Amino acid sequence: MSGGAATAGVTKPKPRARKRRGAPKSFDRPRYLRVFAAFVYFFLFAPILIVVLFSFNAQKSLTVLDGLSLRWYETFLNDPVLRESLFASLQIAAVTMVVGTVLGTMLAIGLVRSRARWSSGLNILMLIPLVTPEIVAGISALLIFWQIGLQLSIFTVMLAHITFSISYVAIVVRGRLATMGSEAEEAAMDLGATRWGAVRLVLLPGLWPAIVAAGLLVFALSFDDFVLSFFTTGDDVQPLPVRVWSAIRFGVSPTINAIGTLMMVITLTTIALAVMLPRLFGRRESAIKVLTGQEGG
């Protein structure tokens, strides 16, 4: 009893109250962070803004802005050579997007779902085209076309772009596929679906945002690619980047600003479609988040 009374009489020390962290003080914040960020963004976007601004220049000058006009856009669109090059680049990018996305998606499914011993090695092998210098890929494609006797044309440009874009599509789709698991496909096959039916009804709808994002990425990469197009183009209509390079060797015209602005508009439109398309079809995922790895399974 005495021990219990003694124990009861002892008061336990009160826990110390945690000090609340208030707002960060001035010396806790990185100094000049906003100025540094503004300088970086200005350094990144100032050249683009100058190109866009001078594409509306009324005078034939690359240094002095004198009035606003659509003169150089009209010159670009009324030039049959440049217009054919623009349509050729759009055609190459569209074919590359469709074929490269299909092949890359098939490769990603095969790499993730394959249980063979060599599947891990193939995953590493798939990354080689991404780290290979593009000039090496262009020279290799040129040598292969020469050796098999294939004449350089828009078709060879498409083949080179498709080969180069498969790895990009496979990486994007594989990242999305790795987070999905195979439970839904197995459940569909347990309910009577064939393997192809499970892929068509379960797997592909789940991969759709990643497939769209990968396809749009490939379209943008193919549309403004210069190195592969330069080494694999022939005597027929040249893609727009190659045509621009050929033109600036004889002098820089303000039409180049209009071409650069138009190519940037096409790229931004592609990105906007990547954001809008999944939501227009009732999907919550954003294709840009899937592309950057921010969207889970």
Q: CATH no. for residue 251? A: 1.10.3720.10
Interatomic CA distance for residues 140 and 232, integer angstroms: 10
Interatomic CA distance for residues 55 and 72, integer angstroms: 7
Q: Give the range with max mean pLDDT: 31-45, 70-84, 106-120, 150-164.
A: 150-164
CA 291 to chain centre: 7
pLDDT reported for residue 1: 47
Domain that holds residue 174: 80-291
pLDDT reported for residue 99: 95
Residue 70 domain flag: no
Q: Are 68 and 56 in contact (CB under 8 A)?
A: yes
Residue 36 domain flag: no
Kindly state the DSSP code that residue 57 receives in the 8-state scheme.
B
Does residue 210 surpass a pLDDT of 90?
no
Taking only the tens place, the pLDDT of each residue in 177-206 is: 877 767 777 777 777 777 777 777 777 787
pLDDT reported for residue 287: 54
Kindly indicate the confidence band of residue 297, based on its pLDDT and cuts at 50, 70 and 90. very low
Residue 60 domain flag: no
Residue 47 domain flag: no
Kindly indicate the confidence band of residue 290, based on its pLDDT and cuts at 50, 70 and 90. low
Q: What is the pTM of this model?
A: 0.76
Interatomic CA distance for residues 87 and 90, integer angstroms: 5
Domain count, the chain: 1
Residue 54 domain flag: no
User: How would you class 224 by CB atoms within 10 Å of its CB: exposed for 0-12, middle for 13-18, buried for 19 or more?
Assistant: middle
Does residue 275 surpass a pLDDT of 50?
yes
Note the helical H segments in 179-239.
183-190, 195-198, 204-223, 227-232
Taking only the tens place, the pLDDT of each residue in 6-40 is: 444 455 555 555 555 555 555 556 667 778 888 88
Does residue 257 surpass a pLDDT of 70?
yes
Residue 130 domain flag: yes
Residue 42 domain flag: no
> Percent helix, strand and coil across the chain, each rounded to 5?
70, 0, 30
Over residues 245-262, the mean pLDDT reads: 82
Mean pLDDT of the chain: 79
Residue 73 domain flag: no
Taking only the tens place, the pLDDT of each residue in 88-135 is: 999 999 999 999 999 999 888 888 777 666 766 777 777 788 888 889
Taking only the tens place, the pLDDT of each residue in 161-182 is: 999 899 889 888 887 787 776 7
Interatomic CA distance for residues 240 and 247, integer angstroms: 10
Interatomic CA distance for residues 6 and 43, integer angstroms: 75
Q: Which residue did the predictor score with more confidence, 283 or 194?
A: 194
pLDDT reported for residue 7: 47
